Every structure is written in structure tokens, then in C-alpha cells.
Structure 1
Amino acid sequence: MKLVYFAWIRERIGLEEEEAELPDTISTVDDLLRWQQGRGEEYAAAFSEKETIRVALDQFHAEHSDPLNTVKEIAFFPPMTGG
């Protein structure tokens, strides 16, 4: 599965994107966010406030409760503000 990172999430992890094999126990966006927190120091820093992180599944905005099912790409980005 392709994982894509934006803004300060990318900066904290040090990667723009990566391929990852997810454990079978991960079935929702929230499961994935918790898994990311345990992948190392930089991931823990990037995902420490997981409730603020926005996620897109195959380029469609998703809720943290959404299932991953057959998703091929997951993007992580901070909340957006604008005017």
C-alpha cells in the first residue's frame, strides 16, 4: 500500500511517500493511525495528535472510522485553514 505524507507530517517523518505492508489487524483509518504511532520516533512525533490528522483514501477524504478495504493509496495531511 502506498502511504503519502504532506506538510509537517512529511517533515517529521522525513519521507514524501513509501510503500508499506500493513498488518492484517489494521482495518480502519484509526487502526492505521495508531499503527503509525508505533513505527518509530519520527512516526510517533508525526502522529502524536492523530485526531487532528486528515486522511484521504485513494484521493477521497475519509473519516477515521472508515474501513481501508481495497484502498491502494492513503494520504496523510494536517488540518487545512484558509480564507
Structure 2
Amino acid sequence: MAITILFLGPLRDLAGEQEREVAAPLDWQGLLESVGPQVADQLQQDRVNVACAGTVLADKTALAALDGDEVALLPPVSGG
């Protein structure tokens, strides 16, 4: 079925959309291929986190999203 990828913050601007549905299952390599080169470049940086089914992954390269899961791409938090 499907997995929803959520693009948050500046990653949404790079992707040109807020969310995208992709086929399940989804692993790290599949995620990189699904989001396009600009977002994939950002995802490979340590400062960008990935959450799957509401849990931030300690090792985002271990992503194993299943049907119905939501994968959120979390840009670094800035504040003042």
C-alpha cells in the first residue's frame, strides 16, 4: 500500500510539496530515491533527523517503514 513522507520546514520548500505518498515498504535507500536529489543531499547530513511512525530514529539509515506509516523529515531546529 502506501507510506506518507512529510517534508517539514525548509525541506518542504526544497521538495515543493508538504507530503508525498510512496509504495510500502520503504528503507533508507528507497527514501533517498523517493525524495529527489536536493532533499536526499540534506537527509544525508547529520543535522537532519527522520521519524517513522512518531518515533525519531537514532539511526536513520535503519529506516524500515511499513504500510500506513508516516515518515517525517525533520530539519535542524533553530531558535533564539
1:66 corresponds, among 62, 66, 73, to: 62
The answer to whether residue 44 in structure 2 is matched with residue 51 in structure 1 is yes
Instruction: List aligned pairs for 1:1-83, cutoff 5 A.
Output: 1-22=3-24, 26=26, 28=27, 30-36=28-34, 43-52=36-45, 53-62=48-57, 63-70=59-66, 72-82=69-79
The answer (yes or no) to whether the contact 2:52–2:65 under 8 Å persists in 1 is no
Tell me the TM-score normalized by structure 2.
0.70
1:33 Cα deviation (Å)? 4.0
Identical positions, percent: 18
Change in Cα spacing, 1:13 to 1:67, as seen in structure 2 (3 Å) is closer
SS in 1 for 2:73: strand
Tell me the TM-score normalized by structure 1.
0.68
Greater per-residue strand proportion = 2
